[in-house]
Amino acid sequence: TSATAVLELRDVEIYYGRIRALHGISLHVAPGELVTLLGANGAGKSTTMRGISGLNRLSSGDILFDGESIAGLAPHERVKRGIIQVPEGRRIFPGMTVLENLDMGCYGRRFSSKSAYRESIDHVFELFPRLGERRKQFGGTMSGGEQQMLAIGRALMARPRLLLLDEPSMGLAPMVIQQIFRIITTINSEGTTILLVEQNAQQALSRSTRGYILETGSITKEGAGADLLVDDAVREAYLGVA
Ligand code: ATP
């Protein structure tokens, strides 16, 4: 499958100073997949995401997008190719309205017509009716769940070919987490390829095509989401089942 992968990491190592955060990890995401990267605090999940989006430099290994190395590209060049990250902690613009936040997501994207722009906005409002109701509200006054929806909506405005979601469920109430995961599944079923980083193993694995387990900078396990969900070691470490 790696020949046709949208994204492929080959033996990626990333250091912070002298600390090796990633010990040579390899993974791939095929077109249309929803792949989860599961790991405890400090395992290296965000470091991996930042390596893919270009915010962290590789010290060795390679990252391929559509079979072509992107390891030397600046973050904005990766965005142009369709690699769009929803960062941990959402990072919406608090002093801008919902609509202005969404417009920031397509900054630099060229629409073929005004109706193409409208289509993108309407699609986001269809997925997140709440955002449509609150288009004039300032981002900073929204709830955590609404801000997460806004962050995902903003990413969709860039028309991602690969959507990187870094812990979208973090800090949200169980009901809201359900809602966010349902929308992630919808976005994936509409054809968007997704790499998801999560600590919420149950939700993430049950909705994923495949998953990888990341432990202290190394991939220790890979499998179908449904298989990992019933794996004894995974259940013990990430689902609190002995
Ligand atoms: P979390 O869920 O807490 O974000 P994570 O799996 O995303 O965890 P990373 O944030 O990628 O983990 O961190 C991986 C390792 O690299 C950890 O040991 C962390 O302490 C270290 N690390 C992360 N950022 C830095 C930094 N800027 N400087 C030094 N060490 C760092």
Counting ligand 1 atoms within 8 A of each CB, the residue from 13, 15, 19 with the most, and so the one to mutate, is 19
pLDDT (0 to 100) of residue 165: 96
CA 82 / ligand 1 centre spacing (Å):
25
Residue 95 has pLDDT above 80, yes or no: yes
d(CA 88, CA 80): 21
pLDDT (0 to 100) of residue 77: 94
Mean pLDDT of the chain: 92
Counting ligand 1 atoms within 8 A of each CB, the residue from 45, 50, 238 with the most, and so the one to mutate, is 45
CA 16 / ligand 1 centre spacing (Å):
9
Condensed to tens digits (0 to 9), the pLDDT of residues 155-212 reads: 999 999 999 999 999 989 999 999 999 999 999 999 999 999 998 898 999 999 999 9
pLDDT (0 to 100) of residue 1: 46
> 170-190 burial string, b = 16+ CB within 10 Å, else e?
bebeeebbebbbebbbebbee
In sequence order, the 6+-apart residues with CB closer than 8 A to the CB of 147 are 90, 92, 139
Condensed to tens digits (0 to 9), the pLDDT of residues 116-160 reads: 888 889 999 999 999 999 999 999 999 999 999 999 999 999 999
d(CA 127, CA 33): 19
Counting ligand 1 atoms within 8 A of each CB, the residue from 16, 22, 53, 90 with the most, and so the one to mutate, is 16
Residue 241 has pLDDT above 50, yes or no: yes
**pLDDT band for position 14 (50/70/90)?**
very high
Q: Are 200 and 39 in contact (CB under 8 A)?
A: no
ipTM of the complex: 0.92
Q: Is 111 in the pocket of ligand 1 (CB under 6 A)?
A: no
Ligand 1 atom closest to residue 43's alpha carbon, by position in its atom list: 6
pLDDT (0 to 100) of residue 116: 81
pLDDT (0 to 100) of residue 157: 93
CA 237 / ligand 1 centre spacing (Å):
19
Q: Is 140 in the pocket of ligand 1 (CB under 6 A)?
A: no
Q: Is 171 in the pocket of ligand 1 (CB under 6 A)?
A: no
